[in-house]
Structure 1
Amino acid sequence: MSDTDAWKAAAPREAPVFSAVVLAAGLSSRMPGQHKLLLPLDTQPAVRRTVSALVGAGPAEIVVVTGHQGRAVMEALDGLPVAFRSNPRYEEGQMTSVAAGVAALTAPCNMVMVCLADQVLLDAADYRELIDAFAAMPRGSILVPFFNGQRGNPVVFSASYAAEVVSGHVNPGCRKLIAEHADEVFIHEATHDRFTTDMDTPDDYARIQARLSDARMSTPLIPHG
């Protein structure tokens, strides 16, 4: 067994220290006339809601990859403890943003989480669920969440894969990931749909607004005094 293979085998048993890459560079082409990441949700831009939840999960580092309307996305995240990496090739596809973000990571970690900026229903506990699942998984170096047979995000992978992700030899967002790396992929069966819910279209936005409104209505008020 090589040193690299030994590191991969040991990684899930190490204390879970993770860094995160947030993909926020896309064209938002299915949300006509608007940038989905800047749409308001509970009085804040969607991208800020996503990244704030991720901050609450305690990563060693967060790199937000920007592209389309990058300056506006950066302004929406003003004050949050994140680093930014501009991807001038964002129109060539998501993998260019994944590679750019992973290449920009500098803090020591043993796992990397690749997050979608439009998964606005995820909270800090959801992100921790995946990190804890990765740390406890009996095999593999890549974790992919599923719900009711549907593949979700974020994907978590061993930091030992970073160079292969940057070079494009491993694409954690690829639909063929499980087939091409069957021995390395562990499927995490979730009990909720938040890992499989994103916000691409006006209908998605309306449904998410309704869910957030329902959640507020069902939260009991705590009396003061």
Structure 2
Amino acid sequence: MSAATFSAVVLAAGLSSRMEGRHKLLLPVGGEPAVRRVVRAIVAAQPQEVVVVTGFNGRAVFDALDGLDVRFQSNARYREGQMTSVAAGVAALQAACDAVMVCLADQVLLGAADYRELIDAYASMPRGSILVPSFGGARGNPVLFAASYAPEVVSGHVNPGCRKLIAGHADEVFVYETTHDRFTVDMDTPDDYARIVARLEREARERGREAGHEALER
């Protein structure tokens, strides 16, 4: 497979139950709500379409994404668990594609190039029809699966977010070993949020220093 088209399902329906009363997707990251930063990067990776699944505080998530080229799918069953949102999002896809990428709305470290890295890895993987990123032995996200799996995902017979997926579908799953930890970092707790914000600020300062050095060398 020399190239692959993909569509993205963004899971943005959760309760943020570990964030101590704050809705994590609306927390500011780099001057914008976390969910907008994530979805903006996904859109920039040029999928065929993006479906954002909403549930808890859905109107606020909708407003935070104003102006972005996405469609929304409400999941009335979001309290029953993440798989209901996966199924709702996949069922709402309309455009033809080779693969479906199931994205978490709180992975704020990922940029457009990271999502493209995964789709390129999917296109060139030596075997299988499901790709799971991994770093240092830790399973990451997003997960990609062949679009032909969509009916099974919608019916609940295949759960691409299941931790047992690799063991149960060893012949179909390709574990993609990445060179960085961004695919394994999400934002569930206040401590997670503080660490991520500090990391992004540190990286921004480092980029600023590098840009300054380059300017002086000219």
Equivalent residue, structure 2, for 1:181 = 169
Equivalent residue, structure 1, for 2:102 = 114
Equivalent residue, structure 2, for 1:15 = 3
Unaligned runs of 5+ in 1: 1-12
Equivalent in 86, 95, 104 of residue 92 of structure 2: 104
3-state SS, counterpart of residue 219 of structure 1: helix
Q: Is the 8 A contact 2:3 2:120 kept in 1?
A: no
Equivalent residue, structure 1, for 2:154 = 166
3-state SS, counterpart of residue 199 of structure 2: helix
Query: What's the offset of the Cα at 1:180?
Result: 1.1
Which letter maps to 2:134?
F
Which letter maps to 1:79?
G
Aligned-pair identity (%) = 73
Q: TM-score, normalised by structure 1?
A: 0.92
Deviation sequence 1:87-110 (CA, Å, 0-9, x none): 000000000000000000001101
Equivalent residue, structure 1, for 2:16 = 28
Q: Is the 8 A contact 2:16 2:23 kept in 1?
A: yes
Deviation sequence 1:54-83 (CA, Å, 0-9, x none): 111110000000000000000000000000
For the pair 1:147 / 2:131, whether they are aligned, the reply is no
Query: What's the offset of the Cα at 1:215?
Result: 1.1
Deviation sequence 1:151-204 (CA, Å, 0-9, x none): 000000000000000000000000110111110000000010000000000000
For the pair 1:49 / 2:21, whether they are aligned, the reply is no
Equivalent residue, structure 2, for 1:194 = 182
Equivalent in 50, 59, 71 of residue 59 of structure 2: 71
Which letter maps to 2:65?
L
Which letter maps to 1:74?
F
Equivalent residue, structure 1, for 2:201 = 213
3-state SS, counterpart of residue 146 of structure 1: strand
Unaligned runs of 5+ in 2: none
Equivalent residue, structure 1, for 2:123 = 135
Which letter maps to 1:106?
Q
**Whole-angstrom distance in 1 between the partners of 2:95 and 2:52:** 14
3-state SS, counterpart of residue 29 of structure 1: coil
Deviation sequence 1:88-141 (CA, Å, 0-9, x none): 000000000000000000011010000000000000010011000000001000
**Whole-angstrom distance in 2 between the partners of 1:65 and 1:141:** 24
Deviation sequence 1:29-72 (CA, Å, 0-9, x none): 00012100000011100000000011111100000000000000
**Whole-angstrom distance in 2 between the partners of 1:168 and 1:114:** 15
Which letter maps to 2:180?
H
Q: TM-score, normalised by structure 2?
A: 0.95
Which letter maps to 1:179?
A
Equivalent residue, structure 1, for 2:76 = 88
Number of residue pairs matched by the alignment: 211
**Whole-angstrom distance in 1 between the partners of 2:3 and 2:152:** 23
